[in-house]
Structure 1
Amino acid sequence: MMSSTFYSVSNPFRDLEQLETIERFLKENDPFVHAAFSLDTSKYQLRDYLQYSHNPGPPIYAVLDRNIISRVVKVGSGGSLDVENNTDRLTMAVMAFLCAANIEVEPNIALYEVTATQENNNVRSELAAVRIANELHPTTYAEIAFGESKHASRFELRKARKKIKYMSLNSAKFERFLPHWEMHHLALTKIAVLARQNKNPEECLRELFRWSLEDAFFDGIAVSLGVVLLGSKGGRSLVMRAVRSSDPDKRIAVVANATWDLTYASYWVKRTKQFNGPCLFVTADKRLRALCRLAIGNHSHQELFRDYWPAPHAKELLRAYNDVEAIARDMPRRRDYYSTDAWKQKMHEMQRELTKQLRDIVSD
């Protein structure tokens, strides 16, 4: 255990009380999912991160979702936030902590979403705003988070702009579409179509398993979301209520939005393997955190079925899921086939047909 003298030397906040308020608020809201990083006490104690950064080793990165990044961009651009909004406040507490811990913000996946979903976007200016925001003092964020200020001062913003002046802002081609988004979108459209059919939830889930093996592919994280959404608790979710809407445009839109959740999770898992060091995922979305924890192995499928399915069915469905996963894992040349033009054409054809079904099918 580190003594309080560590804080007197290294605490970047105004005082110990401000730091402890930030740590307590983050712990209560729990926005972090972590990988490849073992903490002695809590993922919301700054001293552990500072101790890590004082030792030789790779830096810590944080992948932020679009809801968080959009608020970071606003502050980095000189805008104001509403401290009565919990996501605004949480974003400021997150940035206070990340900046204090010298954690590098990785905004790429959020900027991919911008290019895919918004017209007339200016991704390069948003990336610059994120870099500026990453250079602001932690106390600036703490003061916004707890109502002492509504925005970063002009002085702080000028200092940050000078620091990023010579940074390269062309690190990624954000207009390029993500292939795993398309795969997730196909699987989620199938789940939505199943949810609108006059079948019981267990039949729907078993049909999803069959379709994944015989007609399409086994997208593990998408199937896991299907376990949640088709389960007794998942049926009450905002996603499923929108899927059952009489408005076909609303049904199409919610599937696309949920696809981005899956894409964030799979992108983060990929980045944890690419970064030569620890990586956090940060989101205010509880369901997205659960997906990321499942994808990285911090949550088991046994827990998932237990949480979302009644006991008589959970054990049987878990066994069926494990069988399907094992078969998919052992399928020869699976990866080679999914990179071929023939597969891409088939996937696009299935997507068009399923989207038509989702638009046209009448739910009983």
Structure 2
Amino acid sequence: MAEQAARYIVRFEQGFPRAAVEALGAELVAAGVLAPGFIPPSAGLLRLEAIVYAKDEQGYDTVVLPDRNLVSRMARVARDGHAKAGDKTTRSAVALMAYCQAMQVMLEPSIAFHELGFVSGNSVAREELSWFRAADRGAALDWVALATGKKDRVILGEAAAQSDHDFEKPILRWRRNYVVALKAAELELTPAVAPIDRALTLLDWMDKDFLLAGPAALFVSMYYGPKAARAGLFKQLRSPDRDAAITGIKNAAWDMTHLSDFVLRVTNAEKERRRYIFASGDLSLVRIASRLFLGPDPADGWPSLEEGLREWWPDKDAQHLAEAVFARFDIKRFNDRSMPIPPPESVDGLIAKGEAFLGAWTAA
């Protein structure tokens, strides 16, 4: 069987469920759960020919970075043999696993298990990882049949051997993002401060007193945005239960860490000959991820950062904020001065200070 996209011909093995896999790819793109870390081909991000061409002709592996919610649902299907939960994230998880297995697209969920271990402990994280490995073992036709409704149950075998990795220990990148999240929450709870002033104050603080963390800054830029659909980004922030508020800030720091992991991997992608796609059922997080690589001017079909910020900010504020971001993240400026990295004891102190403020806060 052959198809031609431009001048490139792809042949699939007999019995390959091409129509079903194409439909799953189109569904995932339409659902808005994916953010590519590269300029998508004109044929479409998950167009079958584009995936094969990138691998066979250009030498790039495509790798999807699913967040914890997607990974947990994939593991649950392997454990239970079905996907009865009717929520959209479960649907996306099943469709994504089916597509990736059919197209030999790799799934790399490492941050997801660090987050799970931190929240629920090593035992839970190690068990779920073993079931995720069972899910990702290689049963493309079963996953496609499940995703298309031709099967309502699958048997994917026993759980894989459990890892002995320590997932409970907070990773340094998360700790730094947690400091930023605590500072952002403090500014949000400071009365009579305009949203744009909060955003600019946070940038100044990161620049002068902590460190510049682009993904965290963009996450907070959405949260502060007057036009943004920001529900769920900082959960329970104003709750009377201050422990719940701090838990919400910790969750936001994990979201920031997923984004920073995405940026780090994309930064090294050319050297590794890989193309990375971030995936999440949290559409707000995907929308932030889709703006991580925008520049000061439109390029290659992508908008400028200012244009990307207009979804969340009035035009004048979007322009001001974009200019402030690029003034601080200028490459020449980075080369002209050393950017300090806060030592662990400094991070510990900032966390303690931020948690004390959040714990003591009460609504006026």
TM-score range, shorter chain: 0.7 to 0.9
Q: Deviations over 1:37-60 (max 9, x none)?
A: 753501122232234444473533
Query: Which whole-Å CA distance do the structure 2 matches of 1:49 and 1:310 have between them?
Result: 38
1:183-262 aligned within 5 A: 183-198=176-191, 199-234=193-228, 237-240=231-234, 242-262=236-256
**What is the percentage of aligned positions where both structures have the same residue?**
21
Structure 2 counterpart of 1:346: 346
Letter in 1 for 2:278: F
Equivalent of residue 118 in structure 1, options 120, 123, 126: 120
Shift of 1:355: 1.2
The answer to whether the 8 A contact 1:244-1:251 is kept is yes
1:35 offset after TM fit, Å?
Answer: 2.8
Match among 284, 288, 292 for residue 289 of structure 2: 292
TM-score (norm 2): 0.84
Structure 1: 5+ residue stretches without partners: none
Output the amino acid matched with 1:354. Answer: G
Which deviates further from its counterpart, 137-146 or 345-354?
Answer: 137-146
What is the CA–CA distance in structure 2 between the aligned matches of 1:43 and 1:171, rounded to whole Å? 36
Shift of 1:13: 4.3
Return the alpha-carbon distance in structure 1 between the equivalents of residues 94 and 194 of structure 2: 44
- 36-45 or 251-260, which moves further after superposition? 36-45
Aligned residue number for residue 91 of structure 2:
89
Could you report, residue by residue, the CA deviation over 1:226-262 in whole angstroms, capped at 9, with x for unpaired residues?
2111121247523357323333122211111111111
Tell me what 2:134 maps to.
132
Aligned residues of 1:249 and 1:359 also touching (Cα < 8 A): yes
Give the match for residue 175 of structure 2: 182
Structure 2 residue identity aligned to 1:301:
L
Within the alignment, does 1:329 sit opposite 2:334 as a pair? yes
Residues 363 and 216 (structure 1), Cα distance of their counterparts in 2 relative to 1, 3 Å cut? farther
Task: Look up the equivalent residue of 1:178 and give its one-letter code.
Answer: I
Structure 1 equivalent of residue 320 of structure 2: 316
Number of matched pairs: 349
- Paired with 2:333 and 2:217, the residues of 1 have a C-alpha distance of 12
Whole-Å separation in 1 of the counterparts to 2:44 and 2:112: 27
CA displacement 1:2-48 (0-9 Å, x = unmatched): 3499777337644x442343233223213222235753501122232
Distance 1:58 1:113, change over 3 A: same
- Residues 279-310 of structure 1 show CA distances to partners (whole Å, capped at 9, x for unaligned) of 22221221221222222446643124322222
Distance, in Å, in 2 between the alignment partners of 1:207 and 1:251 is 22
Q: For residues 13 and 61 of structure 2, what CA distance do their matches in structure 1 show?
A: 18
| Greater than 6 Å deviation, 4+ residue runs | 4-8
1-structure distance, mates of 2:58, 2:328: 43
State the 1:172 CA deviation: 5.9
Aligned match of 1:76 in 75, 78, 90? 78
Distance 2:14 2:329 in 1: 47
- Report SS of the residue matched to 1:42: coil
Q: List gaps (5 residues or longer) in structure 2.
A: 295-301
Q: Report the structure, 1 or 2, having the larger helix content.
A: 1
Q: 1:145 Cα shift?
A: 2.4
Q: 1:278 to 1:359 in 2, by over 3 A?
A: same
1:105 and 1:211, CA in 2 relative to 1: closer, same or farther beyond 3 A?
A: same
Task: State whether structure 2 residue 298 is matched by structure 1 residue 301.
Answer: no
For normalisation by structure 1, the TM-score amounts to 0.84
1:359 and 1:10, CA in 2 relative to 1: closer, same or farther beyond 3 A?
Answer: same
Q: Helix, strand or coil for the counterpart of 1:279? A: strand
Q: State the AA in 2 paired with 1:186.
A: V
The amino acid across from 2:326 in the alignment is N
Report deviation, 1:278. 1.8
Q: Which moved more, 1:171-180 or 1:71-80?
A: 171-180
